[in-house]
Amino acid sequence: MSNKILQKKALIPGQTSLLVIDAPQIAKKAKPGNFVILRIHDKGERVPLTIADTDPEAGTITIVYLVVGKSSALLETLKEGDTILDVCGPLGKPTHIEKCGTVICVGGGTGIAAMHHIAKGHHRAGNHVVAIVGARSKDLLLFCDELGGFCPELLIATDDGSTGHKGFVTEVLRDRLEKDKNVTEVVAIGPVPMMEAVAKVTKPFGVRTVVSLNSIMVDGVGMCGACRCNVGGETRFACVDGPEFDGHKVDFNELRMRLAQYKNQENESMDLFRS
Ligand code: FES
């Protein structure tokens, strides 16, 4: 288990990077929807990251991260050839994928990377995959070439209109759902407000909607309770029961509150790291 970084690419310089990691055991078993937890050093925080792609033959996994706090800033200091102390996975339940017709995959921000793996899984299962991706502007879009390579429809929304529809992914989604009553499923991965808005749009259409929750995680195997969330009035653990859940049943308010719980400590830790 080397966990060596074989490739590092700045997708959005200083903000979002991609790593291809040598992890043959994980690459062999991982399925779309799975995630890994990595630690950069022995006192380091455990960082959950959804797998963006795998190459079982080459024995590699691809992860994409946003430099948002101390641990991701530390990860960003690593270079090609460096080794990550430990990479644990594949964790979580894989996405339920079967041949079911038309599936719309919606991705926002770094969520597009994780969505890409799921979209690929649906494509391989023989589904007609419509990818809808959104970002503030053209330069902040990820994985468009990859998605365009296998999705018969790639629809783009940008806040500033620099490419695609000027506005939100939800507007594109509503329009697409109105045109086609045969969509079987919608998958949404991205910022919480985006996933919540997607679930609101799909509800009146009665389309099954899956969201992937980016809960705070510690152990990743169902023991610590850090990732608990409320789905349909029941407490579920994102790491073992998810991370994907029925978007129409998730309590997004509670998720938002739990994600903001350690903001002060996260900011303090980042300030210390920078100083
Ligand atoms: Fe500990 Fe899920 S991360 S129970």
Q: CA 152, 190, 150 angle in degrees (round to 5)?
A: 15
**Does the fold of domain 95-212 match that of domain 5-91?**
no
Specify the pLDDT at position 46: 87
Specify the CATH number of the domain 5-91.
2.40.30.10
Q: What are 57-109's pLDDT values in tens digits?
A: 999 999 999 998 888 888 999 999 999 999 999 999 999 999 999 999 999 98
Q: What are 9-52's pLDDT values in tens digits?
A: 999 998 899 999 999 999 999 999 999 999 998 887 888 999 99
Domain residue ranges of the chain, discontinuous segments joined by +: 5-91, 95-212
Side-chain-side CA neighbours of 220 within 13 Å: the count stands at 20
Distance 47 CA to ligand 1 centre (A): 12
Beta carbons of 120 and 143 less than 8 angstroms apart: no
- 218 within ligand 1 shell (Cβ under 6 A): yes
- Give the ipTM: 0.98
CATH class of 95-212: alpha beta
Closest CA to 6 of 111, 110, 84: 84
Pocket test for ligand 1, best of 91, 214, 223 (most atoms within 8 A of CB): 223
Beta carbons of 37 and 45 less than 8 angstroms apart: no
Distance CA 55, CA 58 (A): 5
- 223 within ligand 1 shell (Cβ under 6 A): yes
Q: What are 184-195's pLDDT values in tens digits?
A: 999 999 999 999
Closest CA to 194 of 170, 213, 158: 170
Specify the pLDDT at position 267: 65
Specify the pLDDT at position 273: 63
- 227 within ligand 1 shell (Cβ under 6 A): yes
Distance CA 275, CA 135 (A): 31
